Each structure stands twice: as structure tokens, then as C-alpha cells.
Structure 1
Amino acid sequence: MSASAGAVRAEGARPRPLGPRVFAVTLLVVGSVVFVYPFLWMIATALRTQAGVSQAGVSLWPVQWQWSNFSDGLGSFPFWTYLRNSLLSTLVPVVAVVFSSSLIGFAFARIRVRGSGVLFAIVLSTMLLPGEVTIVPQFILFKNLDMIDTLWPIIVPTFFGSSFFIFLYRQFYLRLPDALTDAALIDGAGWFRIWFSIYLPLSRPIVIATAVLQFMSYWNNFFQAAIYLSTDRWKTLPLALAGFQSVHGTDTPLLMATTLVVTFPCVLLFFFAQRHIIGGISFTGIK
């Protein structure tokens, strides 16, 4: 009986047509080349001379290598001051949004109170508001608090969580068994202790995804920095690039070398953490 069934399955398992697979692979390769070409051109231009840029055309191989573009570009403005400001305005929000969003998401998932569903719907509705709508009242608020031209307007809002990440954490915690909470409550643990000692250690995939996405968003944060920061003391690297372009706009190799250094952390982080990002976000949707 089993042999006949195996023969039927063997006959039914016909090989897939080669044409669609070749077309799919070709389409992916062409699409990858189209998307990666600008980045490769930026790397090649960062290693060229000023005269080599006009002579290169679409070529990705520098005729004359000039590694001094990196030192000259970074030395033309206070790079370390801007790097410190970018690290402060990025790493602090990463830690803040991970803990605050996780805590709020845990409350929505496990603490049953009247009106929590309505409150969660209000939190989700804030994702429909673009940042340009809220920037004016926020600016007035931070101006009255005397926080303009500091990093506080960029850092403080992250301590109240992000609606998108709150949604992800809530969906993730709903997947975990209720027995974890019941056992901890029987042992006398409070809600904060349950979240910090049980749920937060179990949410490693979504924590990594949140941290990486938040890092990439705030490392490249230009809009808020341009609104709140004006002096060189607190300017970040995205603002430095804008100022660098206005001063050295015609020196393309220096501009590309500086841009490559600024974007390198995001590229490197995404390259090593893309599996965790995809796994953490998709894991929240599995029931």
C-alpha cells in the first residue's frame, strides 16, 4: 500500500518549468543591479579625483585612486562634535523607545481594564498623522520649555513610545501564553516585575527589530534636527552634510566620501541585522 502511494506521489511530482524560474532570477538580478548601482557609484566617486569624475561617465572603476578624500572631507568640518551629537540623539532614543514601547505594549496585551481597546485604537490612530501636522505645536511646546537648539526635542518624545512599535509589542505579547502571567501573579510579582523579568527577556526578536529600525530612522533624522537645531554645538551629521554640500557642492569626491562615512553605520547594521528585522516583524503576525 505504501509503495503504490509512493509511486503515485512520484508520478504526480513533476518538475517545475524552467522558464518561470529563469525569468524570476533574471528579474531579481536586474532589479538588484538597478538599486545597488547608485551606492556603488558613490563609493567609486569617493575614491576619484575631481577631474576623474567628469571623465569616468558611468564607469565604476576609478582611474586614479585618491584615498585622501575621506580625511579631507571629514577634516573640513567638526566631524567628532557632530558624531557625538548624532550618537546621543540616536542611541538614547533607541533605548527609550524599546523600553517604553515594550512596557506600553505589555500593558495593552495583558492588563484588562475597561476602555483599553478604545485607548489602543486612539494610539494606533496617531500613525495616520504625518509629522508635519504635529511639528508646529511641538515646536511651540519645546520653545516654551526653553529647549530649542538642544537635543531634548529629539530625545524626549521617544520616552513616550512609538505607536507602530507599541502595536508590534502588543501583538507579540498576545502570542505568549497567559499561564506566564498567572503563575507570576500567584507568586506575588507585580505587573512591572512580570514585564521586566519575564516578557522583556522573551521578546528578543522584536527588541532587535525595534532597535535597528529606530537607529536607522534617527541616525538619518534631518527634518527634526533642521527644525530644532541651529548652532554648531548641537548639529548632527545629517545637518552637517547639508552644510557641507552648500560649501563644497562642486567638489563631488569630497561630498561622496563624507556621505559614505555617514551612511556606513546604517548599511553595516542593516546588513548584519536584516534577518532579525524580518524575523522580529513577521513573528508578531504568527498566531
Structure 2
Amino acid sequence: MTGASIARPANAPNRRARLSRDRLGRAILYALAIALGFVFVLPFLWMLMTALKSRGELNLFPPTIWPNDWTPSNFLRIWEVQNFGQFLVNSAVYSVGAVIGTVVSSTLAAYGFARLKFWGREFWFIVLLGTLMLPSQVLLIPQYILFRELGWLDSLKPLVVPTFFGNPFYIFLIRQFLRGLPASLDEAALLDGANQWQIFWRIMVPLSKPIIVTVAAFSFVTHWNDYFGPLIYLRDPSRMTASVGLLLFRGDPETVISWVMAAALITVIPVVLVFIWTQKYYVQSVASTGGKG
């Protein structure tokens, strides 16, 4: 008892020192996180402030950070100068269609590579991964000629239809996740009389929700921000997506930079909302994806 009572006062300063170091470490970590967050938020803040400036204030030097003459009407003008609403609708149709195609095809292919046994499975998977090393520009001319012969130019078909043939990177992610699920699930389902489709749809898909949602989010952001594809295949301004539509704002001599910033800010909002909605699935999917080779 005496030894224990003597040890407590001796250890108390050490505990206080450790607590102080922990608090200091957390404070430094929070400060770095806040500073890093500010770096990421600053471009959006600058876009917002520029979008709210009047035409005359844009020419001031040095530029003002906060608008002296707040002009929220800039957000209304973008709907009048260009057919901005149609641009957003086209982007939504393109992105949603591409997400459906990517998720369905990539999930089916990943299930085959992860849970089914067939001759040459590992070889063909390596071949699939090898296609990731091909730059998209290599396939641009052959694809353009193919879509021209099919009569698909100036439509969303060249942008959406290829997504139904799977994406090698997303197939890899989903395959890694599925390989982390125990094989006993398949065995128990087969003993209960389930076929492969039932195993896939009723067992694997619900358990793979984190990685599927993550892939859907990545695919949505990629296709919503896609600039190169719509620029190559679309000609009619009424079919343009928002990413290319912003270029039309820049090309209009009557357009001011505040309108461009307002349009860009509105274009970013869907991406931010998708990230906020799906961020809780990221950690779950990442924690399970790299577990199996």
C-alpha cells in the first residue's frame, strides 16, 4: 500500500506531461487541417466573390477581395446569355447514363474475375490491367471513325455507350473488394440452391455497397467534369454539356468574367453534393479494397 501510494504522486507529473504533449499534438494537427482546408476552399471563395462583383469592379487594380457593389443578378444573367439550363440537363443525362453503364458493367466483370473460376482468369485480368497503360488519345481516332460510321456523332451515344463495356480501373477496385468477402458465403448459397445470378444480386451486391457507391461517385465526377469527350463528339450547342458550355461563355464578347465565375460555381455544386453524400462510404471501401491480391 505504501509503495503504491508513493508511486502515484511520482507518476502524476508524467501523466500531465503526456496529456500536455497530446493536447499540443492535437492542436498542431487541427491547425494544419484548418490551414489545408482553407487552401482548398480559397478558390471557391474567390469564384463566389468574383461572381458577385459588378462589371466595373472587375477592372480595378489591385483587385478587391470583397465586392464593393454586390451584384447577385449575375447568377440570373447566365440563364439569359446562354442556354445554361440545357447545358446542365445534358451533363446530368450524360453523367447518370455513364454511371449506370460503368457500375453495372464493372460490377459484373469484377464478380466474374473475383468469384468465378474459369480457364485463364488471372491471365485475362492481367491483360485487362494492361489496358490501363494505354493513353486515351491512342484510341481517339479509331473511336471517332467508328462512331462516325455508326452515325453517332453529335449525340450522347459516343459518350455513354462505351461505359457499358466496363472500366478497367473500377473493375480492379470492385474485384479487390469482392475477394475480401469470405468464400463460405458462396458455398452456403450454393447449398441452399442459389444460382450464380442469385449469389451476385442477393449477396454480393448488398455487401459491396461501399465500393459500388464509391465507384458511382468517382464515375459521376469524372463524366460531369469531362471536357475532352463532349468537345470532340458534340457540335450542336443545344447538346453541349456544362463543361463545354463554359467555353461558350468565354467566347461570347458580351460575357463578363463574373458571369463565367457564376456559371462555374453552379457547375461545381453537383460534384460537391455527390462528395458530401458518398464520403462515408470511402473509408469502408478503401479499408476492404487492398486486402486481397
- Structure 1 residue 217 and structure 2 residue 201: aligned? no
Q: Report the equivalent of 2:235.
A: 230
- Report if aligned partners of 1:172, 1:284 keep a CA contact under 8 Å in 2: yes
2:26 & 2:64 partners in 1: Cα distance?
31
Work out the percentage of aligned pairs sharing the same amino acid: 36
Out of 149-158 and 184-193, give the one that drifted further. Answer: 184-193
What SS is found at the alignment partner of 2:237? coil
Instruction: Tell me, yes or no, if the aligned pair for 1:48 and 1:66 is still in contact at 8 Å.
Output: yes
State the alpha-carbon separation in 2 of the partners of residues 96 and 195 from structure 1: 17
Q: In the TM superposition, what are the counterparts of 1:198-277 in structure 2 within 5 Å? A: 198-248=203-253, 251-277=256-282
Distance in 2 of aligned mates of 1:248 and 1:175 = 56
Between the aligned partners of 1:126 and 1:210, the Cα distance in structure 2 is 19
Q: Could you say which residue in structure 1 is the equivalent of 2:193?
A: 188
Moved more, 161-170 or 10-19: 10-19
Partners of 1:174 and 1:17 lie apart in 2 by 39
Match in the other structure for 2:146: 141
* Alignment counterpart, residue 120 of structure 1, candidates 125, 138, 145: 125
- Is the alpha carbon distance of 1:12 and 1:174 closer, same or farther for their aligned partners in structure 2, counting shifts above 3 Å? farther
Comparing 87-96 with 185-194, greater Cα deviation is found at: 185-194
Contact 1:212 1:277 in 2 (8 A): no
How far did residue 67 of structure 1 move?
Answer: 1.2
Secondary structure in structure 1 of the residue aligned to 2:90: helix
Give the deviation of 1:23 after TM superposition. Answer: 4.9
Moved more, 162-171 or 267-276: 267-276
Name the SS for the 2:239 alignment partner: coil
Structure 1: distance between partners of 2:11 and 2:101: 55
After TM superposition, list the pairs within 5 Å mapping 1:15-94 onto structure 2.
15=18, 16=21, 23-55=28-60, 57=62, 59-94=64-99
Question: Which sections of structure 1, spanning at least 5 residues, go unmatched?
Answer: none
Q: Which segments of 5 or more consecutive residues in structure 2 lack a partner in the other structure? A: none
Amino acid at match of 2:171: I
Displacement of 1:25 in angstroms is 4.2
Change (3 A) 1:249 1:184: farther
1:105 and 1:79 map into 2 onto residues whose CA distance is 38
Q: Deviation per CA, 1:12-45, whole angstroms, max 9, x where unpaired?
A: 8761377665554444433333332121010011
2:178 maps to what in 1? Answer: 173
Residues 82 and 240 in structure 1, CA contact (< 8 A), matched pair in contact too: yes
Q: CA shift at 1:278, angstroms?
A: 3.7
Letter aligned with residue 285 of structure 1: G
Distance in 2 between residues matched to 1:258 and 1:73, nearest whole Å: 7
Q: 1:221 aligns to what SS in structure 2?
A: coil
Task: State TM-score, norm by structure 2.
Answer: 0.88
Distance in 1 (CA, whole Å) between partners of 2:14 and 2:187 is 50
AA of the residue aligned to 1:106? Y
Could you tell me whether the CA contact under 8 Å between 1:248 and 1:255 is conserved in 2?
no
Residue 152 of structure 1, CA deviation: 0.5
Which of these two proteins has the greater Rg computed from alpha carbons?
A: 2
Cα pair 2:177 2:285 within 8 Å, conserved: no
Figure out how many residues of one structure are paired with residues of the other and give that number.
Answer: 285
Deviates more, 1:18-27 or 1:148-157: 18-27
CA 1:228–1:179: 2 relative to 1, 3 Å: same
